[in-house]
Amino acid sequence: MVISGIISLYNMRIIYKGINKVEAVAGEMHKSHNLQLALDMALMPINDYIITGRKGYMEDFRKASVEVDRWLKELEGELSGLEGVFPAGVKEEREILKDVGASWQKVKEMSLEIFAIPNPVGNSRAAAMMEEMDYKWAYPAIEKLRRWQEIDKEEYREAHEESERALKLAVIVMIAGGVMLFSLGGFLAVFYSRIFVRPIEAIHNGADKIAAGDFKTRLDIRTGDEIEQLSNAMNEMAAQLDSLYSNMQQMVDERTRELQYERNKLNGIFEAMEDGVYLVDQDYNIQYLNPVLLKEFGPVDGKKCYAYFHDRTEVCPWCLNQRVFAGETVRWEWTSLKNGKIYDLLDTPMRQSDGSIWKLEIFRDITEKKRAEEALYKSEEQLKLQISRMPFGYIVWDTGFRVVSWNPAAERIFGFTPEEAKGKHPYDLIVPKEAQPHVDVIWRRLLEGDTAAHSINENLTKDGRTIICEWTNTPLRYHNGDIIGVLSMVQDITERRKAENALQESEERFRTITNTASDAIICLESLGNIKLWNKKAEEMFGYTADEVMGRDMHELIVPEKYREKAREGLKGFFQTGAGPVVGKTVELTALRKDGTEFPIALSISAMEIQGEWLATGIIRDITDRKKAEDKIMEQLDFLKRFEKVAIDREFRIKELRDENDLLKKRIGEMEGR
């Protein structure tokens, strides 16, 4: 029993060491798996950033980087504890860890360069850097980690076999002790078999299940010794592996959903685009067509791209696909023989998960644009022709105030030919010295942002004459708003200015005459609005000219009871220039500002100016004349009444004389009797 006990203790020590080895290897396997997973997760945001250009992936990469650095550090500490157990494996694993760490540093450096690219989508440099980072640094590092896991599996197998050998030796010792001490130790052999062998078998079976991928397996061993510790360690390892597997599955599912969402979003964009979009692989098989191209070219029916778009049986000799498959983005124009339209094509490479490159091509229909450009060219030619025929000067200046364009009308005005004027400053050609400060102010304001400037200036001609010109200046702008020159349109208004001055002098004379007239003079335009109101009208009616200009004459000086009749009379006049009182003098009643009415004599004449009839009225206040006439009428009435009385008296006297004669006759007859 003592010998068996010593051997058993020795075997227990071997088993304990085996348990520690298994536990250490299990922990190392767990950390190496985590490092591989963290490295995979760190690569995803970089790829996603190149595909979508979203800045949020930078933060995702930073978080993943922290995880990679943590597992690298923990694995370094793990190897230090295994140096005395698996020296050869630890040496190789240290080399792997060193290489993985160096690769990881390179990945981080390249990721910073990639994230520094502001718009990585379709960027050939970003795609090339991503390809180098994946295939030169990341994937080799992951392969080395897989080698590490193979070493861990080998170490795990060795520790497991060592435990099995110790188990077998312990069984042999137990059997030998049982044979030697059958009568005394049989019971103990059975007892130790129950408390020692079965737990180890349970651990062995549980380890097989865990190794087979059943991470839900749990060992229920309660021996109170290292075997229970080993079972607990295996349970913890299984729980960690189960959690790791679940987390990985969740991350894979989440990433799958994100990619599906991005794919659906991208498809939605393509479906809604007005431009045509199609995707072709390196074998010229069409992988996708959006509705625009399906509508233009019909169903694919399994055709290659050269057969679908060009009705060819082989690759087009002008095809740019190979440049795109090599990672280059190209843009070119193509005229379709199938529908006669002109397209602006943008071809860009799209890297697939298997490393291959497909071509994404965007069709933009520029047929109308091309036609518009052609029409614009023709219109520009017509514009040049029209400019050459313009009746007014058309001059274009650059920002240095030098002549760029000088049309024939400008030559007629100033006498300088376009060849003589081109490149010259206006001060050397047409601007008098005394007018130059004024021109400087106009030019400076135009260059500082004024939209236009209108001025009338004195200018010089080639033969030294001074003329008066009307200028309209407008800045010319580039599409980004920058001023690239000034357009000036100029007319020689010398004769017009002379006519205007003559007209002004005539108007002054007319104004002087009307203001010195002894009668009120009023001029009416359409609808009876007052256009002229002289000084005598101000005195007669009490309104100043400023008060009545543009107002309805009827509301001011016509008594209310006559207004409608007066308006009716003017309606026909403004249409024909004729009326019952035109050319006559009539007597009417007028209304002063204070409301008093007074008699007037009105003479109306018609004038036609630019197709419009104007009524001019000359008004005289006949109040005094009316009073004199009334007095004369009173006197005439008195004389008429006096005449009537006198005639009546004469008739009465005659009647009395006749009666007297009759009486005398009767008296004589009576005396004769």
pLDDT at 599: 92
Interior angle at CA 249, CA 245 and CA 254, nearest 5: 150
**Does the pLDDT at position 511 exceed 80?**
no
Instruction: Tell me which of 12-26, 364-378, 435-449 is least confident.
Output: 12-26
Which sign does the torsion angle of CA 139, 142, 148, 149 carry? negative
Angle between helix 198-211 and helix 226-272 axes, rounded to 10 deg: 10
Nearest C-alpha neighbor of 429 from the set 441, 443, 442, 417 = 417
Q: How many residues are there in the chain? A: 673
pLDDT at 372 exceeding the cut of 60: yes
> Which region holds residue 309: left if phi is over 0, alpha if psi is between -120 and 50, else beta?
alpha
Amino acid making up residue 635: Q
User: Which residues are within 8 A (CB) of 550 and not within 5 positions of it... i.e. 6 or more apart?
Assistant: 529, 530, 531
Quick check: 462 pLDDT over 60? yes
> Can you give the pTM of this predicted structure?
0.30
* DSSP code at position 197: I
Q: Looking at 128-137, 387-396, 441-450, which range is the least confident one?
A: 387-396
Please indicate whether residue 162 or residue 415 has the higher confidence score (pLDDT). Answer: 415
Q: Are residues 506 and 480 in the same domain?
A: no
Check residue 378 and give its pLDDT: 65
Identify the pLDDT of residue 383: 54
Kindly state whether residues 483 and 520 are assigned to the same domain.
Answer: no
Tell me, yes or no, whether 353 lies in a domain. Answer: yes
Torsion 304-309-312-318 (CA) sign: negative
Q: Which pLDDT score is estimated for 424?
A: 93
pLDDT value at 376 more than 60: no
**pLDDT higher at 551 or 582:** 551
What is the four-CA torsion angle of 23, 27, 30, 32, rounded to 10 degrees?
-130
In a domain, 104, yes or no: yes
pLDDT at 461: 93
pLDDT at 483 exceeding the cut of 70: yes
- Read off the pLDDT of residues 187-237 as tens digits, 9 standing for 90 and up: 776 766 666 677 777 777 877 887 777 778 887 777 777 777 777 887 888
Amino acid letter for position 562 = Y
Give the DSSP H or E segment for 601.
Answer: strand 597-609
In a domain, residue 378? The reply is: no
Residue type, 367: T
* pLDDT at residue 259, as a whole number: 57
Last residue of a domain, one of 448, 469, 492: 492
Count CB atoms within 10 A of the CB of residue 258: 12
Same domain, 75 and 139: yes
Residue type, 332: W
Residues of the chain above pLDDT 70, percent: 86
Mean pLDDT (whole number) for 275-295: 88
Based on the fold, state whether residues 400 and 474 are members of the same structural domain.
Answer: yes
Distance CA 486, CA 379 (A): 21
* Secondary structure letter of residue 262 according to DSSP: H
pLDDT at position 37 is: 81
Same domain, 97 and 202: yes
Give the CATH number, domain containing residue 526: 3.30.450.20
- Judge if 98 and 139 occupy the same domain: yes
Partnered with residue 331 across adjacent β-strands are: 346
SS3 assignment, position 655: helix
Most confident of 545-549, 602-606, 654-658: 545-549
pLDDT score for 85? 60
Domain that holds residue 531: 500-621
Per DSSP, which regions of 327-443 are E strands?
330-335, 342-351, 357-365, 393-397, 403-406
504 and 488 co-located in one domain: no
Q: Is residue 262 part of a domain?
A: no
pLDDT at 227: 74
Confidence of residue 381 (pLDDT cuts 50, 70, 90): low
Q: 509 and 612 share a domain?
A: yes
Average pLDDT over all residues of the chain: 80
The encoded tokens of residue 614 equal: 């104007």
> Hey, which residues does 289 pair with through a beta bridge?
278
Q: Is the pLDDT of residue 99 over 70?
A: yes
Of residues 58 and 597, more confidently modeled: 597
Same-domain pairing of 486 and 507: no
Torsions phi, psi for 623 (to 5 deg) = -60, -50
What is the crossing angle of helices 2-52 and 87-115, to 10°?
20
Where among 575, 594, 621 does a domain terminate?
A: 621
Q: What is the pLDDT of residue 158?
A: 78
Same domain for 223 and 291, yes or no, is: no
Give the amino acid at 544.
Answer: T
Same domain, 436 and 549: no
pLDDT of the residue at 470: 92
In angstroms, the CA 34 to CA 89 distance is 19
Tell me the mean pLDDT in the region 120-133. Answer: 80
Alpha helices in 181-299 (DSSP H): 182-192, 198-211, 226-272, 291-297
Cβ contact 413:469 at 8 Å: yes
647 vs 315, residue with greater confidence: 315
CA geometry: angle 106, 110, 114, nearest 5 deg: 165
Q: Is residue 572 part of a domain?
A: yes
**pLDDT higher than threshold 60 for residue 388:** no
Ranges of H-type helices in 138-225:
139-180, 182-192, 198-211
Question: Per the domain annotation, does 649 fall within a domain?
Answer: no
**Predicted pLDDT of residue 587:** 85
DSSP, residue by residue, 440-489: HHHHHHHHHT-S-EEEEEEEE-TTS-EEEEEEEEEEEE-TTS-EEEEEEE
Say if 444 falls within a structural domain: yes
72 in any annotated domain: yes
Choosing from 492, 526, 552, the residue where a domain stops is 492
Q: Are 196 and 177 in contact (CB under 8 A)?
A: no
Task: Answer with the residue of higher pLDDT: 167 or 379.
Answer: 167
Please check whether residue 56 is in contact with residue 123, taking contact to mean a CB–CB distance below 8 angstroms: no
Contact 297, 278 (CB under 8 A): no
Confidence class of residue 465 from pLDDT cuts 50, 70 and 90? very high
Does 164 lie in the same domain as 284?
Answer: no
Least confident of 284-288, 596-600, 667-671: 667-671
CB 201 within 8 A of CB 219: no
Give 520's contacts (C-beta < 8 A, 6+ positions apart).
534, 536, 537, 539, 540, 541, 618, 619, 620, 621
Angle at alpha carbon of residue 323, lines to 320 and 327, rounded to 5° = 135
Domain count, the chain: 4
